[in-house]
Amino acid sequence: MLDMRFVRENPEVVKQNLRNKFQEEKLPLVDEVIALDEESRKAKQEADDLRASRNKISKQIGALMAQGKKEEAEEVKKQVTANSERLAQLEEKETELTEKVTKIMMTLPNIIDPSVPIGKDDSENVEVTKYGDPFVPAFEIPYHTEIMERFDGIDLDAAGRVAGNGFYYLMGDIARLHSAVIAYARDFMIDRGFTYCVPPFMIRSNVVTGVMSFAEMDAMMYKIEGEDLYLIGTSEHSMIGKFIDTIIPEEELPKTLTSYSPCFRKEKGAHGIEERGVYRIHQFEKQEMIVVCHPDDSAKWFDKLWQNTVDLFRSMDIPVRTLECCSGDLADLKVKSFDVEAWSPRQKKYFEVGSCSNLGDAQARRLKIRVNGKDGKYFAHTLNNTVVAPPRMLIAFLENNLNEDGSVNIPEVLRPYMGGTEKLVPKH
């Protein structure tokens, strides 16, 4: 969420940002919220003046009563009563205006970084760098669920009967590989200085609205009926929420955490052929990383975070590339975002396996995450990035490590988590 003072003082910057994000329909909201804010500030000032006057008059009544001037005191009391009635009206108006201002402010997107390419949607995202050489073997690579089925490693039919589409049973070697990737990612991040955490898998609505836009919330979150709780779509939500309404001593920055959690998503929208299997699902597990830092350090941490994911995938010999999200593809709270994409030798193209985002002070402002510095209090900056989400990662892993005989090589870094196994051999 933007600072209201910034909007007041820089309306054209806010409007240009809306144009850059192709949200022209929100342009009238800028003038509307400025007018509402001005009205709110006038009401607040009048209310403050009345409160000050009330205190002054109360002392005056006491003095008149002490002097035996009861009639004069009664006249002054009438003025106090009139002021109290007006004050009650102003307080009600203040509350109403504050709610209107907040509602609009929650819909205005964050100011994007000047380096972000201008584009309407993800088709205009820009490739930054490739890591590793994309390779297409001489033999045909089956669809990922077919590879898993050769190991008796997946059961979509049973999952469909139990939970419906978008769920799965992972079995045997494939299930073990899934857990091995999570465990390796956990230790990889711990070795990079991050504190490991298992967070709550449900969060309250004030945390949900603090970490994401209303559009994202509607598209992603599952609500627990009858309770003020939502299932998390990613552990970033509860990890950032950990600091809600806190004041962090500046010397304790940065806060660097890596977390494991299951994730639950509605995944609204059309699903294409490449979203069969475990590509786009309602439940998956994930290793995440978040940073809470000084505003001057967030750009540096952004580069560190996406590099962690690149390094993790390259340690397993999976070619990847980074893609910068254009303005129209950025969620409203984001200042800048990179996707990390893994190479699919079957599709002969890259596909997303992680996303790194710098949200500036947007989440911190909504959640009241402040820092106590030597020059006073200020809002922290927050960042997040996917370490690994095994369902998608398994697709890249199986395709890039598949042999012509159907066996799958286990990279050296994963072998300690697979009981020393160097190769998975299919059952049929």
In tens, the pLDDT along 280-300 reads 889 999 999 999 999 999 999
Q: 169-170 and 154-155 as β-strands: parallel, antiparallel, unpaired?
A: antiparallel
Query: Are 413 and 191 within 8 A, CB to CB?
Result: no
d(CA 347, CA 341): 13
The type of residue at 401 is N
Q: Indicate the domain borders of the chain.
A: 4-105, 122-424
CATH number 1.10.10.60 given to 4-105: no
Both structure tokens of 268: 């609204």
State residue 270's pLDDT score: 43
Closest CA to 384 of 325, 337, 342, 323: 337
CA distances from 404 to 101, 151, 367, 396 (A): 62, 15, 52, 16
Positions in the chain whose pLDDT score sits under 50: 270, 273
At residue 273, the pLDDT reads: 44
Amino acid 84: pLDDT: 78
Please count the other Cβ atoms lying within 10 Å of the Cβ belonging to residue 36.
Answer: 22
Let me know if the fold of 4-105 is the same as that of 122-424.
Answer: no
Question: Around Cβ 275, how many Cβ atoms within 10 Å?
Answer: 14
Give the CATH number of domain 122-424.
3.30.930.10
Calpha distance 370→346 (Å, rounded):
47
Which residues are registered as beta bridge partners of 261?
286
Residue 89: what pLDDT?
Answer: 84
- pLDDT tens profile 179-213: 999 999 999 999 999 999 999 999 999 999 999 88
Q: Which two tokens stand for residue 119?
A: 């584009």
